[in-house]
Amino acid sequence: MERIYVFDTTLRDGEQTPGVSLNIKEKVAIARQLDKLGVDCIEAGFPIASIGDFEAVKAVAEVVQNAEVAGFGRSNLPDIDRAWEAIKNAKKPRIHTFIATSDIHMKYKLKMEPEAVIEAAVKAVAHAKQYTPNVEFSAEDAFRSDPEFLSKVFEAVIRAGATTVNIPDTVGYATPWEFGQFIKKIKENTSNIDQARISVHCHNDLGLAVANSLAAIENGATQVECTINGLGERAGNASMEELVMALYTRRDHYQYDTNIVKEEIYRSSSLISRLTGIVIQPNKAIVGKNAFAHESGIHQDGMLKNRETYEIMNPEMIGVPLNTIVMGKHSGRNGFKSKLHSLGYDIEGDHLNELFIRFKDLCDKKREITDEDLIALVDEEMLKEDETYTFKYLHVSSGTNISATATVGLKLDNELIEKAEPGKGPIEAIYKAINSLVDGEFTLEDYKINSITSGKDAQGEVITKVRYKDRLFIGKGLSVDIIEASARSYIDGINKAINYEKKYS
């Protein structure tokens, strides 16, 4: 079968999802998982956007072992230089540059004549080519551009050295048949198109991003730009897991496949959901918790007789855990280490010791320890940042006929600091107490509770969005006690804000 290249932009376009803010550790963890997933190219970020973005792209470029790493930049020389500086240590670097080509963008946003746009695009590609032979050019808002002009742009940038030309539906306006015909027309009317790979980048404003991407593949595109869980601006991008599994499940029709390691899809989706704080809707295709659930009696009867009556995919194929219980309070350190290895974690030394202590503590609180419990525990511990404030204890008094009060103890510079505050409820009281203990003005912008597993003793994960000055920081807390998880999450967000301030102020 012919291969479709998967260009993952979770760390660039995906991070532009409103309310998402990832730190360097989290971006590196996602990049490592995407590399393990088998994506062909990881777009690591927009290096000129900020010092933090630059350092994150640089860190990703230095750890990725197999995939190409792309730095994103506008069609101007400073952007290109900054992108190269960030990705130059990658084993397979790519510079991705773009400029808008639609009439509305050229007139109102760029305020440039068409010929000046072509000149800027050619100059940017030629400049990028001095750094690396792997250069991608994107025509922003391509679908609303004049096809003849677009072919003229692509011919010029391919002559200048572009090895990939990307045709985005930037505002998600296309329908599948239209978009397929548009790709076909560009391919037929661009004289040197055989010298470059055709890529597409579809947005989901009308819910058609995956369908449009598949239509593009049928008409000559060989690279698709997408994100895990469909994250991205506005309604998001084409969802990688849906695209990959559509190609695989209907390979009889499409005759294409990818290099994606399908058993890593669920793990990738779960990790990115936790780190971004964007909860996956239950009925989300492929990775939603209801994707392989059957409630109807007719469906259940068919499943008992033959799984294929109502399932076109096997959940194990995408790595959905079977929740076999094999760990508990009697498990030893070596067994714990071996179990983590089977889940894809190779952890040694102090990190392993710290995790084992947390595991034993969890065993005292929770009767059954599942794979999902362990994955959540490891992700939380391994991605923890330096702590200015460390959670020590919590005491809450609350009820229907009494006012809530909370006493919180934190460690600061090896000293215990404590404060009690009232509130309308236990969470408000806790956060008021924390705010009175820490330096700086922190505001809770969002609060979510997720259950890691099922059952009355399930671990709860609390995700908070904490505003400090003009930025949002995502905090995460994990515990069988949801009140404790709430406190840990808020403190985590505060510590992230303090670390950012120390590094970039």
Place of tokens 């969002």: 446
- The architecture (CATH level 2) of 390-504 comes to 2-Layer Sandwich (3.30)
2-276 homologous superfamily:
Aldolase class I (3.20.20.70)
Residues constituting the chain: 505
Whether the Cβ atoms of residue 123 and residue 112 lie closer than 8 Å to each other: no
- Which ranges of 366-449 does DSSP label H, i.e. alpha helix? 371-382, 426-437
Distance between first and last Cα of the chain = 52
Pairing of strands 2-3, 442-451: unpaired
Which of 248, 249, 277 minimizes the C-alpha distance to 260? 248
Q: Quote the DSSP letter at residue 112.
A: -
Q: What is the pTM of this model?
A: 0.89
Whether the Cβ atoms of residue 221 and residue 249 lie closer than 8 Å to each other: no
Q: Token pair of 11, please?
A: 């760390």
Which of 425, 417, 423, 403 minimizes the C-alpha distance to 491? 417
Along the 505 residues of the chain, how does pLDDT read in single tens digits?
A: 799 999 999 999 999 998 888 999 999 999 999 999 999 999 999 999 999 999 999 999 999 999 999 999 999 999 999 999 999 999 999 999 999 999 999 999 999 999 999 999 999 999 999 999 999 999 999 999 999 999 999 999 999 999 999 999 999 999 999 999 999 999 999 999 999 999 999 999 999 999 999 999 999 999 999 999 999 999 999 999 999 999 999 999 999 999 999 999 999 999 999 899 898 998 999 998 887 764 445 444 454 455 556 567 888 889 887 655 557 777 888 888 888 887 778 888 888 888 898 888 888 888 778 888 888 888 887 787 789 999 999 999 999 889 999 999 999 999 999 999 999 999 999 999 999 999 999 999 999 998 887 777 788 899 999 999 989 999 999 999 999 999 999 999 999 999 999 988 7
For the chain, give every domain's residue range: 2-276, 290-320, 333-382, 390-504
Half-sphere exposure of 96 (CA within 13 A, CB side): 27
Q: Token pair of 299, please?
A: 């469906």
Pairing of strands 404-412, 415-423: antiparallel
Q: Token pair of 63, please?
A: 């750890």
